Structure 1
Amino acid sequence: MSGTRHLVQLLLPTRDNEGEGFPSEAFEQVSRELTERFGGVTAYSRAPAEGRWKQDAGTGHDDIVVVEVMDENLDRAWWSSYRAELEKRFRQDVVIVRAQPIELL
């Protein structure tokens, strides 16, 4: 199982822009979809991470769940479409989906 792949990480907010929390089923659905497509998924959901960024009037923040998969053939068009779907589903202007090359040892 050695070789170069991509680690794709999705940063999903735990709440919408009005502060309403998403049900655990929303994250389970993402995990099921990614497991079906990529054969496995890792979700860091027990202790949400905190994202912070500069805004016009100060600092914004979100509690986030990080979901990641290893992708052998990075299909950018599919990921772009899936990101757009997640933005609708999680009612966000932007959902961060990022990829980095990794080498399994």
Structure 2
Amino acid sequence: MHVIEIFLPLTRNDGSDQPRELFTRLRRELVDRFGGLTAFTRAPAEGLWEDEEGGVTADRIVIFEVVADIVDKDWWSDMRAQLEREFEQDEILIRARAVERL
């Protein structure tokens, strides 16, 4: 079993809010495909990274999480490219890790 996490920015590069319908559509698609979803949206997390000039840039993010028996890397690669276009981002982080049900 794998937990797959999608890190989504709440704002676009110009500082405007991401359209709410992007999150709604993605939620629906993930629930339809994986049978459930956990959305960490109450207290947005903060993503930090070093930019090209050596400064630190921050994003407020939410995390969508699904559980899958297998990781279809081709499907997730296509999903990441789609999300990068829709959310107008250079990169969207999607990560998977194997988990053991206790």
Query: What range is the shorter-chain TM-score in?
Result: over 0.9
Q: 2:47 and 2:6 mapped to 1: Cα distance?
A: 13
Residue identity in the other structure for 1:54: E
Q: 2:52 and 2:77 mapped to 1: Cα distance?
A: 27
Residue identity in the other structure for 2:27: S
Q: 1:15 and 1:98 mapped to 2: Cα distance?
A: 21
Q: 1:92 and 1:76 mapped to 2: Cα distance?
A: 20
Q: Which runs of 5+ in 2 are unaligned?
A: none
Q: Which runs of 5+ in 1 are unaligned?
A: none
Tell me the secondary structure at the aligned position of residue 66 of structure 1: strand
Match of 1:29 in 2: 25
Residue identity in the other structure for 1:92: Q
Residue identity in the other structure for 2:77: S
Aligned positions, number: 101
Higher share of residues assigned strand: 1
Match of 1:99 in 2: 96
- Aligned CA-pair RMSD: 0.8
Counterpart pick for 1:66 among 60, 63, 73: 63
Which TM-score applies when normalising by structure 1? 0.92
Which TM-score applies when normalising by structure 2? 0.95
